[in-house]
Amino acid sequence: MGVELARLHARVNGLVQGVGFRYFVLEAAHRLGVAGWVRNLPDRQVEVVAEGDRARLEGLLAALQQGPPGSRVREVDSEWLSPTGEFQGFRITH
């Protein structure tokens, strides 16, 4: 069995801004070895786009559902897409 590459697009709702959520996602992405970005949205959600091994992305999705201490994740809307290979590393963006 080989590695199944995928792209995860997620929006996290709840108390997820002002609690270190983006840095939590950055650390999780680095630990899992996936590429992409995370950003705050004007509507107080956090958006994540990441690519890599599907199993590792599922680990990232589980981390998004948990969140860092001080956050309260109400809902994670996610979709699986085909990877584009456009990312080098993982970063916080605006």
Burial of residue 12 (number of CB atoms within 10 Å: 0-12, 13-18, 19+)? buried
- 7 an active-site residue? no
11, 40, 54, 91: the active-site residue? 40
Between CA 45 and CA 31 the distance in angstroms is 23
- Tell me the β-bridge partners of 54: none
- 13 an active-site residue? no
The distance from CA 49 to its chain's CA centroid, rounded to whole angstroms, is 6
Active site residues: 22, 40
